[in-house]
Amino acid sequence: MEALIPVINKLQDVFNTVGADIIQLPQIAVVGTQSSGKSSVLESLVGRDLLPRGTGVVTRRPLILQLVHVDPGDARKNDDSGIDGEEWGKFLHTKNTIYTDFDEIRQEIENETERVSGNNKGISDEPIHLKIFSPHVVNLTLVDLPGITKVPVGDQPKDIEVQIRDLILKHISNPNSIILAVTAANTDMATSEALKVAREVDPDGRRTLAVVTKLDLMDAGTDAMDVLMGRVIPVKLGLIGVVNRSQLDINNKKSVADAIRDEYAFLQKKYPSLANRNGTKYLARTLNRLLMHHIRDCLPELKARINVLAAQYQSLLSSYGEPVGDQSATLLQLITKFATEYCNTIEGTAKYIETAELCGGARICYIFHETFGRTLESVDPLGGLSTIDILTAIRNATGPRPSLFVPEVSFELLVKKQVKRLEEPSLRCVELVHEEMQRIIQHCSNYSTQELQRFPKLHEAIVEVVTSLLRKRLPITNEMVHNLVAIELAYINTKHPDFADACGVMNNNIEEQRRNRMRELPAGVPRDKAPAAGPQGEQDGTGSWRGMLKKGEDAPGSGPGSPLKGAVNLLDVPVPVARKLSSREQRDCEVIERLIKSYFLIVRKNIQDSVPKAVMHFLVNHVKDSLQSELVGQLYKSGLLNDLLTESEDMAQRRKEAADMLQALQRASQVIAEIRETHLW
């Protein structure tokens, strides 16, 4: 299983080449407060001084440190650097530069930190990748994180505590990471910030290992026995104590190897029963063992994640398309595909079916039979007509002579006025269908022909051509719908079968009412002398022209003297707004109302059927049939090829990034396959 950690390092290298952090690889995240000894622990594991030192926040960017064990004799053979020495380091950002001087490594960490984070003690979540090759290390992958702080110093941001906390949580929230919580022994373990933040993401402590530093700096008369035995803060992965180099030791250039020997001597003297389970060497072996087992547990899920991502990036790369070869063929293919998808969306056979709302042909059908149909049905056949309006129309149609029958002219005048009201909802139906066909353009661009996103100018040109075609067909369709209503107004067909049947039924009803009234007359009144008006009908003048005169005035020429004396100016006398109608007036109005309603329903039925047909023929079907030829005629020109097929600025870059990521995922999948073949898994 020892070979599992180099495999993870290899996977890390694969994803580092594309600068991606989409795979959460197993690693050890080092967490602790400022000056808790984090850097000293890491340097003890490496065996060399390589990390920046100082006061305040020194680690201001995550440092991903990969330790690679190499055999002394095979070091140069396995590395093509050509540099003498058994230990060396490589940074990801410096490519193939080899560092054998660890002071230069420390300086490069400082320079790279300031390059991204500045020199104002600010922090950044962009990691520095460092790989150390040495025969004195065990295979490990560690992440050194900024120390937890509470109070900003100098020109640090006021929210430096929140920034560092969020950065730490980002790394330790990775379920594939082991948390190395570092706490100084001369502080109260119950107030350990490292253990507190670790418990937020790992409440059971299943992936937390505690490290107690500075065992040699505890107050006189005290020891860390209870802490090291796990009696104070129980941690499932264990708790290991170490002794760090003091600042004086560092200033005096005390080597890490000498510090480890002194640490061993201290543990043997102070904690003899626990010496073999503490110390830097035991910590390194423990971390190596924990990481190997952790990697073994994570590999199945890791493999599944890589396969899923590979499929996603393969699909993404396919959507970006291949670089354009034959421009003419590509342009014709894209035009044809768009026209086909546009027509398929109308027909309901498109590949991408909208589930959130009605779209295309389904919405047009809804407009015809729901929106338009219900609107027509809501139009009242007698809407806007009062009894006085009908009576006035009847009187105006008779001229100066009283009529014995209801004049037909009044019926035509009134029914045309009502039929005219059907024109506005009909034109609105055309407008709604036109808007939906405009929306289909965007639908096809978003879902059906993603290739158009590669060529923004071609997309704009196609939208303009289709919009122009729809714009040209709109007035033609409106004119046809207007004519449909005008046709109904041009000839009032009173011989229509449905209308004739309605009139027959109505005449029968009127005759029946007349016979009923005749039966109700007194026996002494002759049938042919039956009054046409009610008891207060025309006898009192309310049903005649006299009812329009002012009270107390005589009719023209009835007074003594001049014939004009007592004359009434009829133009000054308003027509009564409301009065009791005579029996005949009431009967005439009812006849007209019934005729209007009957004929209006016939016309409405015709309009409800003919308008959708006209819209389909003059707008929808015409656009479907001519779209392909219109696009080809407008766009398929040699002079436009280069301009229309110019990719968006970032498309080539996105295609390259997707291809690189897909290649990295495929290499990672091969690495995991090698594990299975060598029975490491």
Is 189 in contact with 227 (CB distance < 8 Å)? yes
Q: Give me the torsion for CA of 552, 555, 556, 559, rounded to 10°.
A: -70
Name beta bridge partners: 195: none
Is the sign of the CA dihedral 345, 347, 350, 352 positive or negative? positive
DSSP state of 148: B
The three-point CA angle 606-610-615 to 5° equals 155
Region of residue 230 (left: phi > 0; alpha: psi -120 to 50; beta: else): left
Amino acid at 209: L
Is 52 in contact with 58 (CB distance < 8 Å)? yes
24-47: buried (b, 16+ CB within 10 Å) or exposed (e) per residue? bbbbbbbbbbbbbbbbbbbbbbbb
* Phi and psi torsions of 137, nearest 5°: -120, 160
**Alpha-carbon distance 230 to 212, whole Å?**
11
Measured in residues, the chain has a length of 681
**Alpha-carbon distance 418 to 448, whole Å?**
45
**Alpha-carbon distance 243 to 217, whole Å?**
9
DSSP string, 264-309: HHHHHHH-TTTGGG-SHHHHHHHHHHHHHHHHHHHHHHHHHHHHHH
Name beta bridge partners: 208: 179
**Alpha-carbon distance 529 to 548, whole Å?**
26
Is 320 in contact with 654 (CB distance < 8 Å)? yes
Q: E strands within 364-462?
A: none
Give 101: exposed, middle or buried? Use CB within 10 Å, 0-12, 13-18, 19+.
exposed
What integer pLDDT is reported at residue 620 of this predicted model?
94
**Alpha-carbon distance 261 to 255, whole Å?**
10
Give every residue of the chain whose pLDDT is below 50, as ranges. Answer: 76-79, 524-525, 527-568, 570-571, 573, 679, 681
User: Token pair for residue 475?
Assistant: 């007035």
Distances in whole angstroms, Cα of residue 28 to Cα of each of 132, 144, 206, 570, 608: 16, 9, 13, 107, 74
Is 67 in contact with 137 (CB distance < 8 Å)? yes
Name beta bridge partners: 184: 213
What integer pLDDT is reported at residue 518 of this predicted model?
61
Q: Count the neighbouring beta carbons within 10 Å of the beta carbon of residue 311.
A: 12
Distances in whole angstroms, Cα of residue 579 to Cα of each of 486, 546, 547, 644: 36, 14, 10, 75
The three-point CA angle 268-271-274 to 5° equals 95
| H helix intervals, 491-576 | 497-519
Q: Count the neighbouring beta carbons within 10 Å of the beta carbon of residue 505.
A: 12
Distances in whole angstroms, Cα of residue 99 to Cα of each of 41, 53, 67, 86, 296: 22, 19, 14, 11, 32
Antiparallel, parallel or unpaired: β 128-134 and 63-69: parallel
**Alpha-carbon distance 81 to 76, whole Å?**
7
Tokens 């014939």, residue located = 563
Give 221: exposed, middle or buried? Use CB within 10 Å, 0-12, 13-18, 19+.
exposed
